[in-house]
Amino acid sequence: MYGALWRVLPGPWWVRVLILVVLLAAVLYGLFFYVFPWVSDLVYPSEVTVE
C-alpha cells in the first residue's frame, strides 16, 4: 500500500514527503476534532462492566 501511494504521488522525493506530511496532518485534524468527539458521545466508560 505504501509503495503504491509513493508511486502515485507526483514530484521528487521531498515533494512527496511534504504531501504525505500534509495529508497525515489533515487526517489527524479530522480525527481529533470530528471523529473522536462524535465517538465519545456514543461510548460511556462509566457503564463498562468486567466480569
pLDDT 10s digits, 17-50: 999 999 999 999 999 999 988 888 887 777 667 6
Place of cell 456514543: 42
d(CA 20, CA 45): 34
SS3 26: helix
pLDDT at position 13: 92
Residue 40 has what pLDDT?
82
Rounded Cα distance between 40 and 19, Å, is: 30
pLDDT higher than 70, residue 51: no
pTM recorded for the entire structure:
0.70
Query: CA torsion angle for 12, 14, 20, 24 (degrees, to 10)?
Result: -170
- Phi and psi for 16 in degrees, rounded to 5? -65, -45
